[in-house]
Amino acid sequence: MKFSTVKKYRRRHKLLGALLIRNPVLVLGLDLPFVIAAATSLKNAAAMAIQIFIIHTGTMLVGRVTCTKLHRWQAIVANVAAATFMMMVAQVLVVALFRGISNSLGMYLYLMAVNAMTVFQSSALPKNAKIWPVFTGALSNALGFALVVGVVALIREYFAFGSLWGISLPVLIKLPALAIPFAGFMLMGFLLAFTRFLNKRLLALSLLETARKEARYTKIHVDSVETIDL
């Protein structure tokens, strides 16, 4: 398959790319612990989403500064320090917003400061990185994380406790085990597989429409594109 079409497709669906194709959790496999162990209810998910927005964007901006001034290993320390500061700021906000979140999230509330996505993306910035792409990239990464956490938390809270955002709903069968990390592992496995499947389908569809647009593709090509495999 032609890579230019893939790039075209990704350029066209920028948001989709941020959420699915370059999703930090589903594709890059970053920040798995929080999704697997901590995302057991929608409130936790919301808290972690707010935290990641503040921590990640703030630290990325700090890292944009530190990567020019300091060595790599000093920059990491500085970024983690900044992330910790952001974490404390975010913690004030989150604890004010959600009652009893520090009990339900436990140590994951604090461990957000050293989540792999923030630490390594902020310290791996190139020296000549523009400020605006860094900011938007950080936002889209945080958005992707928030999406995954939200989906996982939705599934787990509904099927494990039969409630959504604390409001109990009628549920066919309760599976309390879903709130335990091992179920989180399996759930993430299936979610990753589903995402890959979805990416494949989306890319195939977009290739199909580009193929239909371009006149030099014959009918055979279109058919072959329909059954594309990545």
Partner 1 sequence: MLLENLYLFFTSAMVALAMENAIFARSLGLSRSVLFMKTPGAGILCGGILTWIATASSVLVAGVNYLVEGAPYASFIRMPGYLLCVCLVYAATYLYTKKKRPALFRVIRPYLPISTFNTALFGAFYISSLKSFGFFQTVGYALGTGVGYTIAIYVIYYARKRLAISPVPRSFRGLPVLLVYIGFLSLAIYGLIGHGLPS
Partner 2 sequence: MSLTANALYAPHIRHHENTRTVMGDVILVLVVLYIMAYMHYGLRAVALGVWSVAICVLADVAGTLMRRQRPHIRDLSAVVTGMLLPLMMPVSIPYRVVAVAAVVAVAVAKQPFGGVGHNVFNPAAAGFSFAAICFGVQMFTYPEPQQALVGAAGEEAVFLPVLGALDFVSGIAPTFTLRLGAVPQYELLDMAMGNYPGPMGATNILVILACLLYLVFRNTVRWDMPVAFFGAAFLFAYIFPRSQMDRLESVGYEMMSGLLLFAGVFLLGDPVTTPKRDLSKVAFGAVAGVVVMLFRRFGNMEESITFAILLMNATTWGFDMLGERVYGKIRRHRVEVFNSQKIQKKA
73: left (phi > 0), else alpha (psi -120 to 50), else beta? Answer: alpha
CB of residue 189 vs partner 2: minimum separation in angstroms? 7
By the rule CB under 8 A, 77 interacts with partner 1? yes
| C-beta closer to partner 1: residue 77 or 93 | 77
User: Strand (E) positions, the chain?
Assistant: 163-164, 167-168
Q: Is 181 in the site for partner 1 (CB under 8 A)?
A: yes
Identity of the residue, 138 or 210, whose beta carbon is nearer to partner 1 in the bound complex? 138
- Shortest Å distance, C-beta 183 to partner 1: 7
End-to-end CA distance of the chain: 9
Q: Residue 114 region, left (φ>0) first, then alpha (ψ -120 to 50), else beta?
A: alpha
Q: Per rule CB under 8 A, is residue 143 in the interface with partner 1?
A: no
181 part of the interface to partner 2, by CB under 8 A: no
Residue 193 engages partner 2 in binding (rule: CB under 8 A): yes
Answer yes or no whether residue 176 interacts with partner 2 by CB under 8 A: yes
Q: How far apart are CA 57 and CA 16, in angstroms?
A: 20
DSSP string, 181-195: HHHHHHHHHHHHHHH
Contact status: 175 vs partner 1 (CB under 8 A): no
